[in-house]
Structure 1
């Protein structure tokens, strides 16, 4: 590793918990279905091709416990297959509708073929189990699977409640171990949300490292002498990497990032909003609201141009080649510049949300595949899993530092998850956490129906803590649904709390709630007990 510059690619895979069994279909469940089809299945197929051709690839992949549960849920899997069938049937109609326009027809066939192939892979080779496919490449040492907080809670908000943070971490570890048969070395901070108090928690659960946003490390105390091109070691011995700012901007920036290039496919312009209503009946909500079909025929196009250009996959592929070479050249140049100052070859940590690749950025999976193929030709650069890098370097030589409170949200701190749109939630959340701790202390050894009830109470508190609900309200899209979920979870918990106080719980009501909010089936409510 000493004679090469190191890149560590880390993708964070997470979807909010949405499961509505009382409805025949539910729009927000498509958050999972879209990313399965457009991001996670393509990722596995990339791994297969690279592995078959012996092209080296290494990356870290964060699988949130929430996502892990959802991709194994029989109801959601059944609905995902129905969703694929819906896309296939619609695709056939689109191929027929566009048969007199060769350019549109080519795109319609491309989308149709992709869905057919995805269904064949998912149902056949992957046996409806995308986690098993990912674990296969972890066992081969190609990818490293990290975990994150159980329900993706923004942990800095809960430092006054140690039991809450411990519950989020313990449930996550238990879920990861039951799925993959091993303990994770790395912990992904939800929304890159770091607070100095988290140092002690992560080390106490034996995590080796975590990743903070760029400014979190640079503003730490003392200032890191090697910048973000080397990890630091906290007072408790936790290794902390920082995201490469320029690598982040190259992909993430909405104005100058690669996905904003005019030749790439437009994410927003979908024929579900353009065709006659009679042609898109399968994609209409019960209230008549139009939804995306996944059939998008237009390029982003130069700003200011009145009409959109037709999307051309060949031109997009050429641009991918250019952007990959530009990305690698820039990473090496900045690592070389850092080496001139520090005298050591460093590491560039390139961390992103996984759904950017494929779901948001259609060409994203292609970018990743070409990235590994091009890097394989280079003698002075290698991709490395973050855990492998952490294991091989001498940690005693790392600078001791405490990173500053930070995140990767708007303006880099916490306003995405705490502003006028979502601040109403937190008094109710904090009260529920206090009461959950009280219940765990009051009923330490209960079993039977009472234990079931307490376990469900823990689920409701954890689900309400998800940072997704605050972020969705902040963004304004599906904000009514996000608010309703928090209100529902808090109300469910309050009902349980009051019922335990009166020593009566409706078994029928509890069973229905367990059926709907069935996440973490093996949860033990005692994770909320005080640690003595």
Structure 2
């Protein structure tokens, strides 16, 4: 008998970058993720399929990422990117050879072969379709594909319920069209959840207080059966730190939601899954396994023999050094040894299996039943930040498949085999720093919400006009601009300063385009004619921001289902 179930959940996401810059911020982000993360992950799955192993990973591919991967502009640009990288590796090889550095010459040859192999894999194994390849592994039973908010909008802070509805409905419809079935699960953007309560906008001039639908209502209405949160939300704990107390808008939000939630008396565990109102199941992230794989300080990715992320050889930006014992001194980095790194991957995978088994065995002893350990990560961790990560996942899948003490399962598998036994209420929160909305609403980025909220209300008004013809075409493009502006990435990049200038340029550009398009749509609806400059602006928007070619404006017009009273959410 197994000691418990193991669920690996991978979240694959990239904001819309096509036609919005190349390097250091822009399409190179997408190309890097594809060659370093998605293709190696597909290769690992292919090797497991050949070995007859079905790891049952739960894989999320956000709709906006899938839209980009299926775009012909990505497919052509990706091949050029890999060929360019292979050429840089060839130049490095010749340079190292001329300098008599034989080990470095071999590493450059490794990179040259690696990028060449990526082109072959993309063209011939994937048929130029990364999303189609993931679908094939779903169809063969190796993985379960789930969805996310259409453009990774941050649900708890959205200014209208119709905007949340549009994010969910568009996610479900695009997933079904692309992958052939309705998604059973969803990765909420930033794992952020909000129950229903009397809400007030935390930014802008609107002082109105109004009743909001809980996030789970939108999920249930659209056939979503389960989602994920951080462990502190299952346990009913308050956010960590005091930032929410220092920022008045967050403090007011917190006090309003807290009125509807009382800390639970009963014991809750992240190794159990629970029902919440509307009958949706919630799983929680395991903190122990998270640290071992996420942390560059105490986790596997920080091992001195793994590939160093920060030191690069210019102009190709290829990496030839290992992390080394002195992690902070780039000048002290030693040459990378891929053979030693590969040995460590197997050791670390075995160690991780033992940690999982020990954790689940301990819980089984306490609860007298099998639990589920949910290991949740950004897919881009594996390959981009941790180069050896995809091989770690392969070793993990192979080792667990041969271990009788563990059962690998997806979210849907658990619900089918062992439906949740208890209903709980969740507090508001996210998986971000502090466990609340701090990263996405603070002194540095609150201005984005002040610009977004009027646009979301205008979109609702525009959708209710019943526009047709050219006015409808313009309104649909306005909806695309709003969807792109809603991405939580912009607030995150501003808060973390990782690409602050890029985000501060992208966000207002989408809002400005939305505002102009919405005004044009209303004028055309009223009988006006656009001049040539306005028509050219529309065409430019349609070319530059082209995801989701088929949009249904009714998503924004009216809520599909009536609002439940806030009292129904009281714990």
Same fold (TM over 0.5): yes
Q: 1:339 aligns with which of 364, 368, 381?
A: 364
Matched ranges for 1:80-119 at <5 A: 80-99=78-97, 100-119=100-119
Uncovered stretches (5+) of structure 1, i.e. residues with no partner? 273-279, 284-292
Offset, 1:324:
1.2
Aligned residue in 2 for 1:524: 552
Which secondary structure state, in structure 1, belongs to the residue aligned with residue 224 of structure 2?
coil
What is the aligned counterpart of 2:503 among 482, 490, 500? Answer: 482
Instruction: Please name the residue that 1:310 is paired with.
Output: 335
CA contact (8 A) 2:5 2:408 kept: yes
Q: CA deviation at 1:303?
A: 4.2
Equivalences for 1:208-247 in 2 at 5 Å?
208-219=225-236, 222=264, 225-247=267-289
CA contact (8 A) 1:263 1:311 kept: yes
Residue among 386, 390, 399 paired with 1:365: 390
Counting only pairs closer than 5 Å after superposition, residues 199-210 of structure 1 correspond to structure 2 as 199-210=216-227
Contact 1:224 / 1:399 at 8 angstroms: preserved in 2?
no
Q: Specify whether residues 223 and 470 from structure 1 end up closer, same or farther in structure 2 by C-alpha distance, changes over 3 A only.
A: farther
* 1:436 aligned residue: 459
Partner of 1:181: 180
Q: How many residues align?
A: 507
CA RMSD of aligned residues (A): 1.8
Q: 1:61 aligns with which of 56, 59, 63?
A: 59
Select which of 329, 351, 354 maps to 1:329.
354
Asked whether 1:30 is paired with 2:21, we answer no
* Counterpart in the other structure of 2:127: 127
CA contact (8 A) 1:59 1:143 kept: yes
Q: Which runs of 5+ in 2 are unaligned?
A: 196-213, 238-262, 561-571
Contact map agreement 2:165 2:559 (CA 8 A) in 1: no
Give distance in 2, aligned partners of 1:297 and 1:254. Answer: 16
Distance (Å, rounded) in 2 between the aligned partners of 1:378 and 1:24 = 45
CA displacement 1:336-371 (0-9 Å, x = unmatched): 111121111111000100000001100101100111
Q: Is it true that 1:161 corresponds to 2:160 in the alignment? A: yes
Displacement of 1:531 in angstroms is 2.1
Are the structure 2 counterparts of residues 44 and 261 from structure 1 closer, same or farther at C-alpha, using a change threshold of 3 Å? same
Scaled by the length of structure 1, what TM-score is found? 0.92
Name the CA shift for 1:76/1:375 in 2 (closer, same or farther; >3 Å). Answer: same
Q: Which position in structure 2 is the counterpart of 1:290?
A: none
Is the CA contact 2:22–2:28 (under 8 Å) kept in the aligned structure 1? no
Name the CA distance, whole Å, in 1 between partners of 2:107 and 2:187.
Answer: 37
**Among candidates 305, 308, 324, match of residue 266 of structure 1:** 308
Q: How much does 1:101 deviate?
A: 1.6
User: Contact conserved, 1:107 with 1:297, CA < 8 A, in 2?
Assistant: no
How many Å separate the matches in 2 of 1:76 and 1:47? 23
Query: Could you tell me whether the CA contact under 8 Å between 2:25 and 2:499 is conserved in 1?
Result: no
User: Equivalent residue for 2:299?
Assistant: 257
Residue aligned with 1:271, SS: coil
> Partner of 1:190 in structure 2?
189
Distance 2:404 2:535 in 1: 65
CA deviation digits over 1:18-67, x for unaligned, max 9? 1227x787841111000000000001111111111223322010010011
1:477 to partner: Cα distance: 2.5
Distance 1:240 1:70 in 2: 29
Mapped to 2, the partners of 1:499 and 1:53 lie a distance apart of 57
Residue in structure 1 matching 2:489, options 452, 457, 468: 468
Cα separation, 1, equivalents of 2:73 and 2:266: 49
